[in-house]
Amino acid sequence: MTLTFGTDGMRGDARTELTPAPVRALAQAGAEILGHRGFAVGRDTRASGPELAGAVHAGVAAAGGDSVDLGVVPTPAVARWCADHQVAGAMISASHNPWYDNGIKFFAPGGSKLGDRVQDEIQARFDALRGSEIEAVPTVVDAHDTAAESHVERVVASLEGRSLAGLVVVADAANGAAHDVAHRALTRLGADVTMLHAAPDGTNINDGCGSTHPASLQAAVVERGADLGVAFDGDADRLLAVDADGRLIDGDQIIAMCALDAKARGRLAGDAVVVTVMTNLGFRRAMDDAGIHIVDTKVGDRHVLEALDAGGYSLGGEQSGHVIFRELASTGDGLLTAVQLLDIVARRGRPLGALADVAMIRLPQVLQNVRVARRPVDVDGPLAPFIDASLARMAGRGRVLIRPSGTEPLIRVMVEAETDAEARMEADGLVAAVESLFG
């Protein structure tokens, strides 16, 4: 059994892998390297959360420090606490995974996610500590109500006094960390809100609901005659939306609307937006037409944040719905994104679907995962002739991206083209090339 950092923290089955003993060692390692005074600990609604939170507090104590328990809060609430109090922290969550999985995401003092070098340091110390029997009595401050309310207040304040009155909204909380704060924030801003999947029981998080399973939200929006719907994932750090007709609006479309609105208001720093290599070609064309520069990063919102800070930019995110408003937060925040998106709808006085259609035309995108015996060091070189041939056939009307998974023995093949049929044909050919070269 090997526990290692992936794209966004460390995850595993909480019944067999990410159990209290290794979590205690991991927390000790994190606290030793990041800082162990006032270490903030939040969690989502998984059944394993309370026990693993106890293990994190014990690990911080073993490092010689004390900690603050934030209770059930969204991941960005932990990041916000770390920024406000200049302490390190951890979120116990496996995001959109099933209830039996769990994970640990660390934040540095200031609320930012960790770079590769710091993760490597924690990994090395964790590997050295595993199996140790160091025990310490935790000193824990309870800040459940304070953390949640502070997060709601800051999200509400982001509208600078504007209201969402008149908007009818259905919000799917995924039976996760947004189940309470989403209703509080949206109703406080004046929206008429119906909550969906907001009764967590420890095992129903992401179960047929939330941003990874939006079908019930799509149906509820149409049935209620709502203006739109919003869907969070388990730890509420990302968001997808649904228009009045039940059509799904993804992260690319949300970022496009926010970028165009911010530019029109003179609030888009550098007239630029930071996105990942997975961002749809239709988004790229729309931003080019609008005179907005695109900065590309690797997949993962921590890479987006690094590029935002390096360039002094204000907006970035991922197709999956992680959106970072850098002047307002230090990480992706589903609730903040929902409020900012609803604000655009309210100010513009136009339906979400119409705004999305004006913002960009989404090109068909096909993504296929090819399992291989082991992750290759180089995929670009061997596949270059096949990629070049595919691009030549599409004659500038499409895009190809092939990359190894960061966590699994998979090679991911992505093709975008003018039509779904063309994208699928080119993807099938490239998958066959990957299989022939890498098994």
Give the whole-angstrom CA distance, residue 404 versus residue 416.
18
Contacts with 12 (C-beta within 8 Å, 6 or more apart), sequence order: 3, 18, 101, 102, 103
Which 3 state secondary structure label does DSSP give 394? helix
| CB neighbours of residue 59 within 10 Å | 32
Nearest to 209 by CA among 175, 238, 171: 175
- Helix (H) / strand (E) element for 295: namely strand 293-297
What's the rounded Cα separation, in Å, for the pair 296 and 273?
9
Which residue in 48, 93, 95, 314 is the catalytic one? 95
Q: Are 316 and 307 in contact (CB under 8 A)?
A: yes
Q: Is 390 left (phi over 0), alpha (psi -120 to 50) or beta?
A: alpha
Phi then psi for residue 29, to 5 deg, are -60, -45
DSSP-assigned letter for residue 327: T
- Tokens coding 257: 């609307």
CA separation for the pair 238, 95 (Å, rounded): 9
DSSP secondary structure string for all residues of 341-376: HHHHHHHHTS-HHHHHHHH--PPPEEEEEEE-SS--
Asked whether 181 and 173 are in contact (CB, 8 A), the reply is no
Report how far Cα 244 is from the mean position of its chain's Cα atoms. Answer: 24
Amino acid at 340: Q
3-state secondary structure of 39: strand
Residue type, 119: Q
Q: Is 95 a catalytic residue?
A: yes
- Supply the residues annotated as catalytic: 95
